[in-house]
A and B are shown apart, each in its own frame.
Chain A
Amino acid sequence: DSGVTQTPKHLITATGQRVTLRCSPRSGDLSVYWYQQSLDQGLQFLIQYYNGEERAKGNILERFSAQQFPDLHSELNLSSLELGDSALYFCASSVGTSGTGAQYFGPGTRLTVL
């Protein structure tokens, strides 16, 4: 158990809908990262937050947005969903830029868009 929690575990929805994925980092970790992993694909970095502020952006679509709240949990919002958005979405946390850099991944949310 990495200490990172993600909810829900599974999500099935229809095209055009909007969903919110939630992540709670490990206690004491200030950085949260979001990744997308498609079937048999590697991990694509989406976005990073550090202590509530956006720190880095990767290949995140405009239909996707995220935020980190004062209690450090983070939410990834996916809107106007398309079939191709079906994937595993992972959240990872680390102590932040001053730490070891070790990222701890949550168990993921499997999103299926029908």
Chain B
Amino acid sequence: QQQVKQSPQSLIVQKGGISIINCAYENTAFDYFPWYQQFPGKGPALLIAIRPDVSEKKEGRFTISFNKSAKQFSLHIMDSQPGDSATYFCAASMAFNKFYFGSGTKLNVKP
């Protein structure tokens, strides 16, 4: 059973637009929800993370929105740039032990 479901699988956005990637989880014991960015040939890099006691966290152009009751969280990339073109993974963890990753979203920002 997939613990974290991510959508869409791929996303094309115009430069300057907003990219939105969604994730849903089942296990209410998860207490840490990070997002990772991965460029081809590189390891994933932590972008931003949130705990379930807050509904939103913003860092620069990146915002996580968290809906505890719906068991959903999403990544918003404002003013998307071609340099943001990468694969994005959401994840969930319990006490920083097992991390469950979504299947990834390939973002392409058109110039």
Contacts and interface: CB of A to CB of B under 8 A. Distances in A.
Interface of A: 2, 4, 31, 33, 35, 41-45, 48, 55-56, 58, 90, 92, 94, 96-97, 99-108
A10 B20 CA distance: 34
Interface string B75-111: 0000000000000010101011111111110000000
Interface of B: 6, 32, 34, 36, 42-46, 49, 89, 91, 93, 95-104
Contacts of B101: 35, 42-45
A97 B95 contact: yes
A70 B6 CA distance: 37
A6 to B, nearest CB: 8
A33 B46 CA distance: 14
A45 B89 CA distance: 13
Contacts, number: 60
Contacts of B102: 42
Nearest to B101: A43
A55 B100 CA distance: 15
Given A42-B102, A90-B43, A107-B42, A102 B49 contact: yes
Nearest to A110: B41
Given A43-B89, A90-B44, A103 B99 contact: yes
Contacts of A43: 44, 89, 91, 101
A4 B45 CA distance: 12
Contacts of B32: 101
A103 B97 contact: no
Given A42-B103, A107-B43, A102 B34 contact: yes
Contact of B46 (A35, A42, A44, A102): A102
A35 B99 CA distance: 10
